Amino acid sequence: MHCQASNTVQVYWSPSTTVETFDISYLSRLKARDPDVMEHFAHFFNRLLKVKLRAMGYRDTESDDLRNETLLRVLVAVDRDKIDNPESLPGYVYGVCEMVHKEQLRKLARHTHEEPEFFSELPDPRPSPDTVIAQSEARERVRCVIQRLKERDRRILTEVFLNEKPKDVICRESGITREYLRVLVHRALRNARDGETDS
């Protein structure tokens, strides 16, 4: 067991080696709190949950408690042998996340009724220091992709990222269709990927 500085943990399994491990042995070791499996569980599902919660409109900085709550509930379910099919663990985690999300919405609705200023103060738009450090490389790549776009496409994508206006409004104001917007995103992602191979 090692307890070194942060660069100890900067070597990690590529995604292709992490997807195939959900079997009975994985769940047993998770139940037994095997450090390797615990580590994998936390990293792999934390990332998957970020993907899901972002698609549901959450910023990473806003979804920490939802992710932790989800992982905690899944661990409890594992302890109680509630997961019959180990291979379905990713789907199970997403199901729990949906539930936690809905509970959160209900809770927020109650608080909003009691505390009208809640919504205006809760979201903290500042990225956490951890996020800033971890995203520095990816930021450069995304910045390059954005800079290479035509002025109009750059403006559209920026508005989409900011997510302050409904997409229909962005499209109408820019004189484009939703289809064009998807293609624009598709091309930006492709350019990011091509940039990777160029470097």
Partner 1 sequence: MLMQSMNHQQAQETMAVERYVLQEMNEAERSSFEQHFLYCAQCLEAVTVASDFFEVGRDLSLEMEQQAAPAPTRREPKPHWSAWFRIVPAFGLAVFMMVAGLAIYQQIEMRDMQKIASTPKLVSASVFLPPAARDDSERGPENTVSVPRDGFFELDFDLPEHPRFTMYDVQIVDQNGSAALPAFSLPPDHLNRSSRLQLTVPPLSTEGPHELIVRGFGDSEKEKVIIARYRFVLEFTN
User: Which residues have a Cβ under 8 Å from the Cβ of 21 and sit 6 or more positions away?
Assistant: 40
* Angle between helices 24-31 and 64-79 in degrees, nearest 10: 100
Q: Which is nearer to partner 1, 3 or 109 (CB)?
A: 3
Using alpha carbons, select from 121, 181, 109 the residue that is nearest to residue 152: 181
Rounded to a whole number of angstroms, the minimum distance from the CB of residue 162 to partner 1 is 5
Is residue 178 part of the contact set for partner 1 (CB under 8 A)? yes
Binding characters for partner 1, 60-79, by CB under 8 A (x = yes): x---xx--xx-xx--xx---
Rounded to a whole number of angstroms, the minimum distance from the CB of residue 175 to partner 1 is 18
DSSP label of 6: G
| Binding to partner 1, residues 18-37 (CB under 8 A) | 19, 21, 25-26, 29, 33, 35-37
Is residue 40 part of the contact set for partner 1 (CB under 8 A)? yes
When binding is defined by CB under 8 A, the residue of 77, 104, 149, 167 that contacts partner 1 is 167
What is the DSSP code string of 133-199?
A: HHTHHHHHHHHHHHHHS-HHHHHHHHHHHHT-S-HHHHHHHHT--HHHHHHHHHHHHHHHHHHHHH-
When binding is defined by CB under 8 A, the residue of 13, 103, 110, 148 that contacts partner 1 is 13
Rounded to a whole number of angstroms, the minimum distance from the CB of residue 176 to partner 1 is 13
Token pair recorded at residue 45: 């599902």
When binding is defined by CB under 8 A, the residue of 55, 109, 116, 150 that contacts partner 1 is 55
Report which secondary-structure segment, H or E, holds 68.
helix 64-79
What is the size of the binding site for partner 1 (CB under 8 A)? 94
Residue with tokens 């220091």, as numbered in its chain: 129
Q: Which is nearer to partner 1, 7 or 151 (CB)?
A: 7
| Binding to partner 1, residues 96-135 (CB under 8 A) | 98, 115, 117-118, 121-122, 124-125, 127, 130-131, 133-135
Binding characters for partner 1, 144-163, by CB under 8 A (x = yes): --x----------xx-xxxx
Report the 10 Å Cβ neighbour count for 153: 18
Token pair recorded at residue 140: 């450069």
Is residue 142 part of the contact set for partner 1 (CB under 8 A)? yes
The C-alpha atoms of residue 7 and residue 142 are separated, in whole angstroms, by: 24
